[in-house]
Chains A and B, each alone.
Chain A
């Protein structure tokens, strides 16, 4: 992000060493990054390593409790819950990562521009954000998916849209307090245009708090997507997805078939938990003040 890559004599960043340092400093960060790696492995290789076909039904073997062949038991159609839970990781992660990436990018640009220039741009943006925030966010996502159509892309767009205000507000505030900071004025005196000052001097300083927001949002995004599929929006059966699987399991909970809902729910919870724990670690990664 810095514009001074051509300065000679600057030591190599040592990003890898810094990552190791951040991990070693805080055991919680270590744990969360470890869990994240665990989920990434499932997302990339899950489909290759699962013992059963996640879509293969077997009516004779329906609703079997966990045993050595079906570690997490089977569902009402006799499908292997373990395989479905692992394979679902890719879809759930993809939805949340894409949604957060979109809201991060759009929110950053909008918030940075509004925070730096202020005036009518700021006022207009604030009105739009107020309007989005005037809806309970999950309800707005429901409305959007219902209106745009029931598809995974629309789940991603809806999730991204409801998260944009958080980034835009955060970046706006972070940029705004630094707009008149000495280093921003000094950058202007050093011959940087407004754009350069904003992009290379002010914005990078907003990254540490944004990283905390990113990690929280990843958690929300997964919860949101799972919630939408739980009420029958977005992902459709028989595609394995944690929210749908919990919804399917909900029908059998009253009769005591706990495993159908428990395992996808646990995975979902663990994923959200991982993202929430990662916040501080991500912040430390991008915060130069943590470097020693």
Chain B
């Protein structure tokens, strides 16, 4: 048990250099802006004097090392700079919009796990059957789909042709009022407010973007589940279990799937990386007011503080998600912390 605690401690400690690395890269990115950062941060209307003021305010006249520590100090206070386009502190903007992105991403992930894992398991159990071929086709086609293209095609089919989906603009049709903000997740907030109508409306808006993202993440999860399940089912311990007369469901799920889920959980880290990236594109297609579309708008407006704040926020989000995945992995795999060397 001490080995496990140490392993979990080690994993926590590992995030420290990663976070330092993330901050360094993000600092380099802010300072690598083309031309003079002060000119950008001062805004389009700035004159010589206000640029100089900005330069001093940002500490750009100081040596690079000092600038780095100033930057770290700002970060520690949650200061990511101010967005030119909204005039708000970047952190406030991001905090406002983060729930929208999270709601979309998480519902897409849940949706794709619900489809991909059973599909992968079924494909592995019935290897060579039509389910298996379908799974392999979906997997190869799925990774080839550009999310933004899938999104547009879904809009064309379900909004323009069939009229089933509401217009792809935002989280809620304008005739509805936003539910009182508790979690920021419209689905949850509307339920908390006891407003099933708003819930249904929010769900309708969410459906297409979530399906778009889910289609994209389906492939890696299904592929990994299939491979891991095949590997588990060909293991010696499955043969032992069968030779001992255990029932089919016990062999498949108690012994096979439990082991197969371990590599699938590890894959989720990679899937998060893809899904957070694809999120940006999907938000643009569906005018989803999350941090992704915020970043795209900021890019168009050359609003660099907002873009860099977004990149940094995404990195922190991703590091946290990975940490959660690894810690939960340590909880389900007894071998973690056992010195195999």
The residues of A with any CB-CB pair to B shorter than 8 Å are 127-128, 130-144, 146-149, 216, 219, 223, 226-227, 230-233, 243, 246-247, 249-250, 253-256, 258, 261-262, 265, 268-270, 272-273, 276-277
Known contacts being A142-B280, A273-B140, is A254 close to B155, with CB within 8 Å? Answer: yes
A138:B278 contact, CB within 8 angstroms: yes
Instruction: List 30 A-B pairs, Cβ < 8 Å.
Output: A127-B21, A131-B21, A131-B25, A134-B18, A134-B21, A134-B318, A136-B272, A136-B277, A142-B295, A143-B26, A146-B308, A147-B29, A147-B32, A147-B304, A219-B144, A227-B148, A227-B280, A227-B281, A230-B148, A231-B280, A231-B284, A232-B299, A250-B152, A253-B156, A254-B159, A254-B167, A256-B156, A265-B152, A270-B144, A272-B146
Interface SS, B side: helix
B residues near A227, Cβ cutoff 8 Å? 146-148, 277-278, 280-281
CB of B303 to closest CB in A, whole Å? 10
Q: Count of B residues near A, CB < 8 Å?
A: 56
| CA A142 to CA B277, docked complex, whole Å | 9
Q: Give me 10 other A-B pairs in contact (C-beta within 8 A), A250-B285, A253-B160, A265-B149 excluded.
A: A132-B25, A134-B322, A139-B311, A142-B280, A146-B299, A226-B146, A231-B296, A232-B300, A265-B153, A276-B143
Which residue of chain A has its CB nearest to the CB of B32? A147
Min CB distance A277 to B, Å, is 7
Tell me, in angstroms, the Cα distance from A36 to B68 when the chains sit together.
47
With both chains docked as a complex, state the minimum distance between the C-beta of A157 and any C-beta of chain B, in angstroms.
Answer: 12
Contacts of B19 in A (CB 8 A): 134
In whole angstroms, how far apart are the Cα atoms of A216 and B299 in the complex?
Answer: 29
B22 contacts partner chain A, Cβ-Cβ < 8 Å: yes
Q: Which residues of A contact B167 (CB under 8 A)?
A: 254
Number of A-B residue pairs having CB atoms within 8 Å of each other in the complex = 162
- Please give the residue numbers on chain B whose beta carbons come within 8 Å of chain A beta carbons, in ascending order: 14, 17-19, 21-22, 24-26, 28-30, 32-34, 140-141, 143-149, 152-153, 155-156, 159-160, 167-168, 272-274, 276-278, 280-281, 284-285, 295-296, 299-300, 304, 307-308, 310-311, 314-315, 318-319, 322
Contacts A219-B144, A256-B160, A272-B146; A143 near B18 (Cβ below 8 A)? no
